[in-house]
């Protein structure tokens, strides 16, 4: 099982990303691309190895797990839409809500969508 790019998920600690260097009967070594160091781990300390790197977080300058990022984004968008929809649904002045929806619809139709 030799891959050039790997994601290492240890039992304890954060997921790490790197390039496979060497392997023996008890451990393996990879070059961590975020810390720019060689890391040696015992096979018994690793829960899972995956082929390839995770996503890249340009703010922190580190690689991340894409699945967690996607789940986090979906949760945030869902909460925002839920709060907005809940606020609009409990609006006491229903004609104002209808006027706001009509205005938004008119503004969207007036917007030039040509790319």
Domain that holds residue 41: 5-64
By DSSP bridging, strand 46-51 and strand 5-10 are antiparallel
Give tens-digit pLDDT for 9-33: 899 988 888 898 988 999 999 998 8
The verdict on residue 54 lying in a domain is yes
Please give the model's pTM, rounded to 2 decimal places: 0.51
Give me the number of domains the chain comprises: 2
Give tens-digit pLDDT for 41-91: 999 999 988 887 767 766 766 777 667 777 888 888 888 888 888 777 776
Q: Do residue 10 and residue 60 come from a single domain? A: yes
Residue 66 burial (CB count, 10 A): 13
What's the token pair of residue 64?
Answer: 């991340």
């Amino acid at each position: 099982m030799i891959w050039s790019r790997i994601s290492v998920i240890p039992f304890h600690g954060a997921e790490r990303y790197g390039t496979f260097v060497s392997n023996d009967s008890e451990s393996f070594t990879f070059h961590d691309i975020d810390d720019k160091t060689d890391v040696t781990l015992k096979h018994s300390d690793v829960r899972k190895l995956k082929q390839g790197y995770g996503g890249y977080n340009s703010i922190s300058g580190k690689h991340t797990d894409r699945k967690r990022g996607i789940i986090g984004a979906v949760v945030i968008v869902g909460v925002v839409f839920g709060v907005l929809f809940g606020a609009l649904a409990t609006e006491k002045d229903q004609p104002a809500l209808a006027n706001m929806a009509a205005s938004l619809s008119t503004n969207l139709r007036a917007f030039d969508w040509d790319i």
